[in-house]
Amino acid sequence: MLYTSFHRSSLLTQLQDLATYNCWAITRLTDWLKSKPAVLLEASAASSFPGIKATLLHIWEVEREWMGHLQQRPNGLQQGIDDDLTTVLNRLVEQAADFSKYVQSLTEEEVQEDCYCQLWFSETICRPRFEIIQHCLNHSTYHRGQVVTIGHQVGLKDAPMTDYMFYVLKVKEQASGSSKTETPANRKNTDSYGRNSFLAVNFFSKQ
């Protein structure tokens, strides 16, 4: 059984971590898709968007649009773009990397600042920057799930694991060397804010 201590965080560090995770998940997903026949990625399927390529294009368009709002330089949706599959895959990864880099550059004060947005489905709105970031990352996660589901419809049933906790335990902490593996018998008393709490995870320790 693996016990990993919780780490202190703020709203900004949580957003930065999620933006990094989003980039990792999109890269992992697109690397998998690049190994599959293009005809399957462009095949029609029943979903919010009619196929894997169309869904990937939507993720890219929306991340691009919201990043423009965050920077107060609206880009607008580019609906109807019909680039080749390789271009769509590469643009999606590049956009996720740009979005993550942008979030890493923000300060605690900047994530609280208001942003004015003119949306195609609403009048001009004013929302704090952190809400827009949360919305954008949640939107991408939602549609990545659809890509996997569409994959099952067209015969692609070996999608890679992109769960957030998998990223935390198998990628983030191992890469940083910050993971603390402990047992109940050797836990040390630590400060408040949850450092005396531990998350027990059986699934990943058996992988």
Q: CA quadruple 28, 132, 108, 98: dihedral positive or negative?
A: positive
**Which among 153, 123, 129 has a CA at the least distance from the CA of 70?**
129
The torsion region of residue 99 among left (phi > 0), alpha (psi -120 to 50) and beta comes to alpha
Whether 139 has a binding-site annotation, put simply, is yes
Instruction: Answer yes or no: is 58 a known binding residue.
Output: yes
User: Is 152 annotated as ligand-binding?
Assistant: no
Give me the torsion for CA of 140, 143, 147, 148, rounded to 10°.
90
Q: Which residues are annotated as a binding site?
A: 58, 139, 143
Q: Which residues are annotated as a binding site for a divalent metal cation?
A: 58, 139, 143
